[in-house]
Structure 1
């Protein structure tokens, strides 16, 4: 957001004098300042694009459209008059590529938020009584090659809204949208806005729902697809005065990771059926919460006192919170859900949590916003450039099918697998499969904008049944290993004293984002799959003579044949 001639930290309307976030849990602004964009006094009732919702998804899209198709009349309507604390502070590589490369926010992110030192997993024993330095660990020994960030969402949303208004977007704060009517046969979409008791009528050629879990269009169109298999709850808070993890433990524990800042990582404390996160934010705040099966993260845990008591039952986490003060609190009874449709040829779309929500273990939220916003922007750009309605409708359907596939593929990483979280040995395998495949398949393609190539997407969709079957096969394999280790009483035997950088079998990170042939990608997939399978067979104690020929061909992993 640092436009030419501006101080780098003046990015999003900026580091102008304001109360630090730790002084208040919310970021506030005068609604009148944003109502019609900078310097505008007349209401623009007719718009090219109306974005409903001013959270990250909507504000990112407004910025992206302004940068890509600057002649558009864009309106953004946000009902809240202050930005409250939200979870989803951690980004990964697709999200970071989108924020830095597509939205031009690199300097802003480094000045106003925090660089992220990767994901970092810790493992405990059955008594939850291991001291932090005793826990087995998976995590980097240096800042990752590809950047990622820990963001204060309330601050970023406030900054984005201000910057979008300055850029000419009609930003309306305290604007409640109702009576949405989607246009038919090319007609504009219509809706009403209520601000301070005054009702106005609006119409737009394109309508994008970014209202988060309010999900206006999902309710209007019956789009919500409940997630019945993966039922998780969550509870969280922001804390002040959390202990510095990099000041804990003996010197050799810090030396093990070459004194890199563990405290800048997203810390995952992993247990059977749930995990606890610790995420640093700017200005002394830390996000701490738990995600897990509903019988674990129940209504008692989803309270301020209940959350604190639950966290403190875990020795390592409790040691971080000994002097901590809870600033604010939130919770979900159900985290994940899907949608039956993302985009429609009638020029409407749902993005962010207005569309779908995934399991947060690998922080995929802004990854999905990146893909959705890229597709929406591309469709609008194509219409402005004069692409035929038939061609645009075909591409809309293609983008929609890909997003449905992408959501399903992501959810298959988690369904029925929360039990394995408590084992270092199983999660070390799962890390290689999940993180390695993420880099190999998804990040590499995104960084080269291959997701905007119709031929590439058609190819990906032609593989869909095989890739989903492969994920199902590995999920079954991991559950078999879980059952085997639990039967022998060795499920958590490696949860103390082990360390892995997580990169031993992911040796191609520096190639990600560079041109790679399809053959090279498939070869790497086969290597990763075989490494994971062989380790699983070792844990299952399968004798060499009983094992199938190794290495297996890639096709063997993608059929309905068991892997062990």
Structure 2
């Protein structure tokens, strides 16, 4: 036997692991939970971690499922949505196409300072009676099989070695991926991209980058800096994310073939790369280079995983499992999804039900969500700089996200096997249509004219788009959930038809061959009005 025996040991006390611990404590107040975290707490503010920008599912999970809304509102930044500038090689952002809302949409999301947030999560875990141990190094672990316990060996800051036995072993160890690597579960998902990122101890107030009063006055309030700002070009995008500590996070994410990592894998090289591709940002960085806090890069950051949940009572969450792409900030979304499935697996186990059939079902559902979301990124980086195609792709991608996956999460239907069975045809229609639309965007990109006029494209002026966001928190009964999902699939079909017709009218006969294949019978919504 180990020194101690526990209901669950969580490997890793970062965002995924601490959120899982809090969710388990809320679901099972008597559960004995130990979290082992390598880094010593408190963490520095502006801690150098991926996952600063949240979107609707992740924000809902943190605020509602875990009950952390007050902390998010008080200690972090309410996000002004996503914003995109098609500014490759340009220093005049006010003269290019901008996609983003003029006013904040109703459903909140946040820019999270990971140092502040994880320090709070660690303190909250201890307040709720969770055994959170920081500055502890896991030295070895053995997976139990056929009902036997798992064993974890670790060493604390004082050098004391301990052995912990656990009924459930939950891997939230981030890219270390302890179980994933031990069992050789990592898979190439076909999406090959690299990222570099750094933080400056200063605010990059993008609204003041020019003195154009009309441009500055487009947003209410005039606080574009609160957005996750994407400065886009062919094969890449750069991010600007403000942190509550006063620092700003800057990243370059690029297709590995189009922009080799060797061209940007030091701060000096990244500055040179920005000077060529995003000179306005390069100018702002150069003025603050003495305020550099850190710099890092990831090569081939996206990966899949062969298994997520096991009948032998182990599971993976966060980057310890699979990782997609930061473009739409889905990381916390998938933490929410996997943590919810893990919680339900443990519930079945505690109720004496066999884990195996539920593990297979939840894993199948997880991978269906993962693959559908991966389609938004894989093979799509070449068109990121296209100011004609990308704004409409973004509208499509968000309609798909809000219309299907968000509904399943917000209405607490992730484990509703009856719903998935009843709506199998509709959900398959949405999945297949999304894949075909992603391929279509690539073909449209190849045929488009590449125009990039001075324009503000405000998604908030789309009544159906704003309504999808505003109604995410609607409390629906079983009939209402099914009706909503069916209506949203019909809307996607109509939107696909409108997009294809727009492309055909703009690019000529070469686009018409896809119209019959993609067009739906629903009334097509207006796309947007350019101002």
Pick from 431, 443, 451 the counterpart of residue 480 of structure 1. 443
Secondary structure, aligned partner of 2:26 = helix
Q: How far apart are residue 511 of structure 1 and its match?
A: 2.4
**Residue 157, structure 1, aligned to residue 123, structure 2:** no
Pick from 455, 466, 471 the counterpart of residue 511 of structure 1. 471
Match of 1:13 in 2: none
Equivalences for residues 31-50 of structure 1 within 5 A: 45-50=4-9
Secondary structure, aligned partner of 2:73 = helix
Distance 1:207 1:254, change over 3 A: same
Secondary structure, aligned partner of 2:251 = strand
Match of 2:456 in 1: 499
Match of 1:88 in 2: 51
**Residue 274, structure 1, aligned to residue 241, structure 2:** no
Q: How far apart are residue 468 of structure 1 and its match?
A: 4.4
Equivalences for residues 62-81 of structure 1 within 5 A: 62-81=21-40
Secondary structure, aligned partner of 1:140 = coil
Match of 1:538 in 2: 505
User: Is the Cα–Cα contact under 8 Å of residues 135 and 496 in structure 1 kept in the other structure?
Assistant: yes
Pick from 491, 498, 509 the counterpart of residue 524 of structure 1. 491
Q: How far apart are residue 535 of structure 1 and its match?
A: 2.0
How far apart, in 2, do the equivalents of 1:119 and 1:270 lie?
Answer: 12
C-alpha offsets along residues 255-289 of structure 1, whole Å, 9 cap, x if unaligned?
22233421100000010000010000012200001
Q: How far apart are residue 437 of structure 1 and its match?
A: 0.8
TM-score if structure 1 supplies the norm length? 0.84
User: Is the Cα–Cα contact under 8 Å of residues 243 and 323 in structure 1 kept in the other structure?
Assistant: no
Distance 1:340 1:48, change over 3 A: same
Pick from 90, 95, 100 the counterpart of residue 129 of structure 1. 90
How far apart, in 2, do the equivalents of 1:461 and 1:75 lie?
Answer: 39
Match of 1:451 in 2: 414
How far apart, in 1, do the equivalents of 2:170 and 2:425 lie?
Answer: 28
Match of 1:256 in 2: 218
Q: How far apart are residue 131 of structure 1 and its match?
A: 0.8
Equivalences for residues 288-327 of structure 1 within 5 A: 288-295=250-257, 296-313=259-276, 314-324=278-288, 325-327=291-293
User: Is the Cα–Cα contact under 8 Å of residues 85 and 232 in structure 2 kept in the other structure?
Assistant: yes
Equivalences for residues 145-544 of structure 1 within 5 A: 145-195=106-156, 196-227=158-189, 229-249=190-210, 250-295=212-257, 296-313=259-276, 314-324=278-288, 325-384=291-350, 386-389=351-354, 392-459=355-422, 466-485=429-448, 490-491=449-450, 493=451, 495-503=452-460, 504=462, 506-509=465-468, 510-514=470-474, 515=476, 516=480, 517=483, 518-542=485-509
Q: Which moved more, 1:464-473 or 1:181-190?
A: 464-473
Distance 1:263 1:451, change over 3 A: same
In the alignment of these two chains, the number of paired residues is: 501
How far apart, in 2, do the equivalents of 1:176 and 1:397 lie?
Answer: 31
Distance 1:508 1:199, change over 3 A: same
How far apart, in 1, do the equivalents of 2:492 and 2:271 lie?
Answer: 42
Q: What's the C-alpha RMSD, in Å, of the aligned pairs? A: 2.2
Which stretches in structure 2 are left out of the alignment for 5+ residues? 523-531
How far apart, in 1, do the equivalents of 2:393 and 2:73 lie?
Answer: 31
How far apart, in 1, do the equivalents of 2:198 and 2:75 lie?
Answer: 21
C-alpha offsets along residues 114-154 of structure 1, whole Å, 9 cap, x if unaligned?
110100000125xx124121121000111121000000112
Distance 1:207 1:470, change over 3 A: same
Secondary structure, aligned partner of 1:193 = strand
How far apart, in 2, do the equivalents of 1:46 and 1:247 lie?
Answer: 57
How far apart, in 1, do the equivalents of 2:307 and 2:60 lie?
Answer: 25
How far apart, in 2, do the equivalents of 1:519 and 1:383 lie?
Answer: 33
